[in-house]
A = this chain, B = another copy of it.
């Protein structure tokens, strides 16, 4: 998907919501468990119920790998099922030596047809660049994550000035462009988002941590929205597990619509995407 197509979708839906498909057999409604592929059936109903209100879906690979080959099949069916105008993110946090990153890129971009993948930057340029060599595909580099442990290394101050996450943002901008590179910036770091926006004024940020992790959508949006939106805000548990009953899809739809309505108001308030 191109940047223009992504922005067009945001404009059309008045939403920058990504729904995280962290589908867990221990959390999905019990009545689905007797079906041949409960994970796909859950995802299918969630997608049907939320696709009007979100512009992206983000399966976290761990939830599928935990089920082995069968989980992988559920993931492949899910990606095939998502409407083609919606942005798809493999939340995989991969990153390896060059020839290995190339293989991961083929797995996620060619075999699975994801639009984007999250990548961990620890191994540097040759671990990230192979993902940037695919037309209309995106790399989303971990910069400042939403978890408590992000303080351990990402905030390490360099003798050259700045923290590790700032160095990651600065260096990786030389590897990609705003047309194929985004950054992960946790919503729980709202105080940092304005500073990060100054470092990367034109790049989209994928913002996890709203909802169950405690991030605040209004704060994130005030600090991070641009004239082309520039944000994709993810919510997983707060939407997909909104109800554990037979009404789970309806409840997810209501929850997604509430977030979309808040986003519509924020896009207008900050004159984002030309509103």
Contacts and interface: CB of A to CB of B under 8 A. Distances in A.
Task: In the A-B complex, list the 5 residue pairs whose CB atoms are closest, starting with the nearest.
Answer: A124-B149, A124-B152, A62-B103, A69-B72, A126-B149
A100 B62 contact: yes
Given A69-B72, A69-B76, A156-B156, A147 B124 contact: yes
A145 B126 CA distance: 12
A173 interface: no
A121 B122 contact: yes
Interface residues of A, number: 59
B149 A120 contact: no
A151 B124 contact: yes
A164 B165 CA distance: 12
Contacts of A62: 94, 96, 100-101, 103-104, 107
Interface of A: 22, 24, 60, 62-63, 65-70, 72-73, 76, 91, 93-98, 100-101, 103-104, 106-107, 111-112, 120-128, 142, 145-154, 156-160, 164, 167-168, 171, 213
B93 A96 contact: yes
30 contacts: A62-B94, A62-B96, A62-B101, A62-B103, A62-B107, A65-B104, A65-B107, A66-B107, A67-B111, A68-B111, A69-B72, A69-B76, A91-B96, A93-B94, A93-B123, A95-B120, A97-B145, A98-B147, A122-B145, A122-B154, A123-B142, A123-B149, A124-B148, A125-B148, A126-B147, A126-B148, A127-B149, A153-B164, A156-B167, A158-B158
